[in-house]
Structure 1
């Protein structure tokens, strides 16, 4: 058996040599994952010796991370808005910038929400967790992504308030909602070549629609009026250089009160709009 401290140092050295930022942090998270304990408990619960099976599992996990596979794909989890979500290679990793959309959405009450391109379900499920009386529908074209979303709904105790449908945008959606949200694929074809190897491990379908990256916004805007109640809101995440274009697309679809909102880094990240006048309170 190998001393666990030695295994941890060796893992960090291998990740460092592969160019992984904060190699020791990732090594610790991988070790904790292999041992089945929380990373913050390593100091207390880490065994002195690493069993051969655990040593082999750590080596395999480190090799995957050294090949630029996202840490979340290896551990199977990612934190978003203070909650743990299951993720896989079938879904886009939740990112802190998307929390801007959550914060904007919960500023006003809503009874129901439609999430277009739901992926892991992190947006829809976070909104339902934050708004205890709301219900929601999440749609995606990927069966594998929706299986991940359903797993997350069950884990968070939200499966009775969340429903998931296989749908190409609004295709299978019926009815109207107080709120529509979406983090669609928006990276342009030209920008794809500039992405890091780590990001390219994520599903291409969730990253880019091809072309200039704006096609999903035309579809979302065109269908919003038919699926929003009067005064209902639309919130879409955007690439940080797409603000003007997306605002114009939404305004051109007769949406009102179109506004651009920055993320935690001060970059344009969310465009909000409203369908018609808000009903009197």
Structure 2
């Protein structure tokens, strides 16, 4: 069955999200974003073949590419996943983290709202010999996700701006609608001892992500971190491991 364009996201109003960074930081983020977006448009082509953590991936231009800090999440997935885990890769993109999880786990669901990403993830799973372990579905956050998972992996878009096209939609989440919905529903899809690995950085509104995690009662620890210099500013990237913070008896 042919994929159709994704449904338009539900309208988001400015009241849904208020930046928790300073105006100066927000402007710096917009500057970084424009550079990344314009670079991506200039380099767009039929697809890139990359080798990453021992896997070969073909990534079409409308799907988020592998970056120099992607290994912070990929290596954490390899260290965290267990053979018995049922794994959800939320916003799978090229399927990379689902494919890495399939190095040990045999029951993996990978989802993305972008039909181009869904097709790329299916092909990359087959290319790496794990198609029998990885099911790929099109889903707006949890809309097509059923059941509970032992491990959820999420690499959300860092920016809160409205996307202008599919390329930018891989980088942006208007007013953090999807990320907010993700945190609001995550516990319903986690086993009692389930874990989440989430990648984020200060080139997005990190304080807002931490606010959502705290509001929903997750314990958060940093399992990987790397800092880079961008235009004279230090940018820090993190992989967080989240677990459910149950109240004391």
TM-score by length of 2: 0.70
Greater C-alpha radius of gyration: 1
Q: C-alpha root-mean-square deviation of aligned residues, in Å?
A: 2.6
Higher fraction of strand = 2
- Report 1 or 2 for greater relative contact order, CA contacts < 8 Å, sequence distance ≥ 6: 2
Contact 1:221 1:249 in 2 (8 A): yes
Note the residue ranges of structure 2 that are not aligned, 5 or more in a row: 1-38, 229-234
Q: In the TM superposition, what whole-angstrom CA distance separates every residue of 1:70-90 from its partner, at most 9, and x where no partner exists?
A: 5xx456312222322011123
Contact 1:263 1:270 in 2 (8 A): no
1:251 aligns with 2:214: yes
CA shift at 1:201, angstroms? 9.0
CA distance in structure 2 between the aligned counterparts of 1:202 and 1:84, rounded to whole angstroms: 23
Q: In the TM superposition, what whole-angstrom CA distance separates every residue of 1:135-154 from its partner, at most 9, and x where no partner exists?
A: 21011112221111111011
1:236 aligns with 2:205: no
SS in 1 for 2:174: coil
CA distance in structure 2 between the aligned counterparts of 1:100 and 1:202, rounded to whole angstroms: 25
Contact 1:90 1:144 in 2 (8 A): yes
SS in 1 for 2:170: helix
TM-score by length of 1: 0.63
Contact 2:153 2:198 in 1 (8 A): yes
Note the residue ranges of structure 1 that are not aligned, 5 or more in a row: 1-64, 193-199
How do 1:46-195 residues align onto structure 2 when only pairs under 5 Å count? 68-70=42-44, 73-74=45-46, 76-110=48-82, 111-129=85-103, 131=104, 133-189=105-161
CA distance in structure 1 between the aligned counterparts of 2:42 and 2:154, rounded to whole angstroms: 27
CA distance in structure 2 between the aligned counterparts of 1:172 and 1:141, rounded to whole angstroms: 10
Contact 1:91 1:206 in 2 (8 A): yes
CA distance in structure 2 between the aligned counterparts of 1:102 and 1:170, rounded to whole angstroms: 22
Q: In the TM superposition, what whole-angstrom CA distance separates every residue of 1:78-131 from its partner, at most 9, and x where no partner exists?
A: 2222322011123111223121112223333431210111111011112213x2
CA distance in structure 1 between the aligned counterparts of 2:47 and 2:169, rounded to whole angstroms: 22
SS in 2 for 1:97: coil
